[in-house]
Amino acid sequence: MARRSIFNRMKTRNKIKQSQEQQEEFNTSITKNLDDNLKSIKKMLGDPTDLVTRELIIGGIEKRAAIIYISGITDEDLINNNILKVIQENLMQYETGILDKIHSEVVAVTDTDKSNNLDDVSLAILNGHTAFYLEGYEEVLLMGTTGGESRSIEEPESETLVRGPRDGFVESIFTNMALIRRDIRDPNLRFKKHEVGKRSKQMVVVCYIEGITNPDLVNEINRRLATMDIDFISDSSFIEQWIEDSIYSPFPQILDTERPDSVSASLIQGKVGIIVDGTPFALIAPMSLSDGLASPEDYTQRWMSASLLRILRFLAAFIAVFLPGLYVAFVSFHPGMIPSTLAYSIAASREGVPFPAAVEAILLAITFEILHEAGVRLPKVIGQTIGIVGGLVIGEAAVSAGIVSPIMVIVTALTAIAAFSIPTYSMSIALRTFRFIVIIASGALGLYGLILIYIMMNIHIVNLKSIGMPYSIPFGPLFLKDLKDVIIRAPFTKLTRRPKHLEPVDDVSKDTSIK
């Protein structure tokens, strides 16, 4: 109860603050008043939590000054030794023209600049520069201190690309935030902090771009995060499963990714990212079924090949769910649909197999799932043996022992490959689960059972929501214009509008008037 009241208070406070922010206009030029200046810059950047403001009083002249930078993307050693320290040591002697002297004589940083414009200042800060404000001056000193510590950033293991950025998220939330900031240098990029975990008190950051993302969406996610009541979250999946809309569904309703570029691209589209301290997996919400079949690779390849790949993935998803069921229906119910020659050779190859096709399909599918699970759990070095064992067990021994027919092995293998080609792992698992239901239904009622299950899946999907957004979007409700970045990937010159189904505040993603 106590926690809830704190959250409630936080919520109301945030609300008040937000409404104030929306009402107040901040000054875009630098004034002589230090407090005003600091307020303006904070307002412009939305007072992010990683913004460091160090106020100091310069001894000799008793003047107030401030150093502002964003931690995580700056080299703090450099700031401490070459800026803070030297200023404090040397500033006793000067009285007039102090800012010029600091600029030209004191600071031991190579890249320095002066500005009297808040836009330049904020951009510089977002780039990792440090701003030095001095009371009584209408200029700000900008010093290049880009840097910052982070665990070595590696290529994400769960989502590899042939072409595209190679960096992946790490466990440190500040590094992760910095990775996103490096992609989007927009002053409207917002990081909203939450504290989750009753005992662990982990930091969870909701990031979005103000002016693009639908504010209702952000509020809803913030509201749901505030309801989190759990001791410890070891991964973002805890949050995913806490805030998702339906717990009675095998489908993932919030997308997880290890790639900063995926998050950035989604933010630009008007979605919301959730970064959790201590895990390299960020969340993207809302998601639709088709998002689970999209890959960042789609945007790095030429649009025609990317479009073909997308269609191929839709086909693969279909195969992963329905192929064994189709095979069972054909073989046990509708042999007339198989071309005569193939039908005869299937009949010949099944001669002596003791089980009906449906049982055979389920047996093989379970064997495959076990092999897959074993392969994932084993250390990489031993993992390879699983491949050999599986290949021998399924491919050779089972067939020659007459337990399964060779064609069933082909069908299962094809299904497995298709399931692996789905870029989102959680989606792939969900589809593999449905495969069993499809096999059972086709084994009982043939193609008729299969189509009923297909209809049933569709009913489930249209009733599913992701943070209030229908899962079946943009197919139903139909958003015709959004389909050009779903079924195919239109050329970038044609993708000038953000997806309409996300109801972005500003839907033009490219300013065509500026060339």
Partner 1 sequence: MSPFKYADESIQSQDIMIAIPSVAIAVSILDLPGILAKSVRFADGWIAIIIAGILAVSLTWFVAKIVSKFPNQSFLSYSSSLLSKPVAYLLTLLFAIQGMMIAAYEVSSISIISKQYLFDTTPVEVIGLSFLLIVVYSVSGSRVGLFRLNAMFLPLIFLVTGLLIIFAIGFMKLDNVLPVFTTGINGYVKGTIDSALAYAGIGILFFYIPLVKDINKVPGRAAFGMSWVVLLYLLIYLVCIAVFGQATTEVIRLPLIELAKSIKIPGGFFERMESLFFVIWITSIFTTAMMTYDVAVMALQSILPKLKKHTIVFGLSPLIYFISTLPNNFLENVKFEEYLAYTTSILPVFVVIPLWIMYGIKGGKNRGQ
Partner 2 sequence: MDNKMLPIMPLLIFFLVTLSGCWDEVQIEERAFLSAVAIDLAEDDGGKAILELTEQIIVPAGLGTITEPGGGKAYRNISRTGEGIFETNRDISRQENRKMDVEHLDLVIISKELAEQEDMLANVLDVFVRQEYMRRGIFIVVADNKAKTLLNVEPEHVKIPAEYITEIMENAESVATMKPIQIGDVQEKLLINRSFTVPLLTEVADNSIYYQGIAVIAEKPNKLVDTLTGADAKGRQFITGGAQDGSVTTEVEGEQATFEITGSSSDYKLLNRDKNALEFQVDISLTAAIREYFGTVDFYKEENLKIFEQAFEKEVKKLSEIAVRKMKDELQVDVLDFDKYLRIHHNKLWNEIKQDWDHGENYFSESKITINVKGTITQPGTSVRVNSRGD
Task: Tell which positions 23-62 bind partner 2, by CB under 8 A.
Answer: none
For residue 224, what are its two tokens?
A: 């749901």
Which option in partner 2, partner 1, none does residue 345 bind, with CB closer than 5 to 8 A by kind?
A: partner 2
C-beta of residue 130 within 8 angstroms of C-beta of residue 74: yes
Collapsed DSSP state (helix, strand, coil) of residue 9: helix
Collapsed DSSP state (helix, strand, coil) of residue 245: coil
How far apart, in whole angstroms, are the C-alpha atoms of residue 436 and residue 469? 28
How far apart, in whole angstroms, are the C-alpha atoms of residue 430 and residue 187? 38
Residue whose structure tokens are 């069993």: 436
Which option in partner 1, partner 2, none does residue 322 bind, with CB closer than 5 to 8 A by kind?
A: none
Minimum CB–partner distance for residue 345 and partner 1 (Å)? 14
Task: Tell which positions 201-220 bind partner 1, by CB under 8 A.
Answer: 214, 216-217, 219-220
| Identified binder of partner 2 from the candidate list 57, 108, 311, 348, rule CB under 8 A | 348
* Number of residues this chain uses to bind partner 2 (CB under 8 A): 33
How far from 412 is each of 112, 250, 323, 428, CA to CA, in Å? Answer: 64, 21, 8, 15
For residue 393, what are its two tokens?
A: 């067990």
Q: Is 363 in the site for partner 2 (CB under 8 A)?
A: no
For residue 5, count other CB atoms closer than 10 A to its CB.
9
Exposure on the CB side of residue 510, measured as CA atoms within 13 A: 8
- Please identify, using beta-carbon distances, which residue of 447 and 488 lies nearer to partner 2: 447
Which option in partner 1, partner 2, none does residue 353 bind, with CB closer than 5 to 8 A by kind?
A: partner 2
How far apart, in whole angstroms, are the C-alpha atoms of residue 221 and residue 231? 20
Q: Is 246 in the site for partner 2 (CB under 8 A)?
A: yes
Q: Is 315 in the site for partner 1 (CB under 8 A)?
A: no
For residue 354, count other CB atoms closer than 10 A to its CB.
9
Longest dimension (CA), the chain: 101
Side chain identity at residue 208, one-letter code? Y
Minimum CB–partner distance for residue 286 and partner 1 (Å)? 8
Which option in partner 2, partner 1, none does residue 255 bind, with CB closer than 5 to 8 A by kind?
A: none
Q: Pattern 401-440, binding to partner 2, x per CB under 8 A?
A: ---------------------------------------x
For residue 333, count other CB atoms closer than 10 A to its CB.
19
- Please identify, using beta-carbon distances, which residue of 274 and 357 lies nearer to partner 2: 357
Task: Tell which positions 447-476 bind partner 1, by CB under 8 A.
Answer: 447-452, 454-456, 458-459, 462-463, 465, 467-470, 472, 475-476
Q: Pattern 487-506, binding to partner 1, x per CB under 8 A?
A: --------------x-x---
Minimum CB–partner distance for residue 456 and partner 2 (Å)? 7
How far from 120 is each of 287, 435, 437, CA to CA, in Å? Answer: 35, 56, 59
Q: Is 358 in the site for partner 2 (CB under 8 A)?
A: yes
Q: Is 247 in the site for partner 1 (CB under 8 A)?
A: no
Angle between helix 215-226 and 2-23 (nearest 10): 160
Which option in partner 1, partner 2, none does residue 351 bind, with CB closer than 5 to 8 A by kind?
A: partner 2
Task: Tell which positions 452-491 bind partner 2, by CB under 8 A.
Answer: 452, 456, 463
Nearest-5° Cα angle at 344, 339 to 345: 100
**Would you say the C-alpha torsion 227, 231, 236, 238 has a positive or negative sign?**
negative
Q: Is 395 in the site for partner 2 (CB under 8 A)?
A: no
| Identified binder of partner 1 from the candidate list 446, 485, 486, 489, rule CB under 8 A | 446
How far apart, in whole angstroms, are the C-alpha atoms of residue 288 and residue 499? 12
Nearest-5° Cα angle at 242, 5 to 51: 65
- Please identify, using beta-carbon distances, which residue of 151 and 334 lies nearer to partner 1: 334
Q: Site residues (CB under 8 A) for partner 1? A: 214, 216-217, 219-220, 333-334, 336-340, 445-452, 454-456, 458-459, 462-463, 465, 467-470, 472, 475-478, 501, 503
Q: Site residues (CB under 8 A) for partner 2? A: 246, 248, 331-336, 338, 340, 343-351, 353, 356-358, 440-441, 443-446, 449, 452, 456, 463
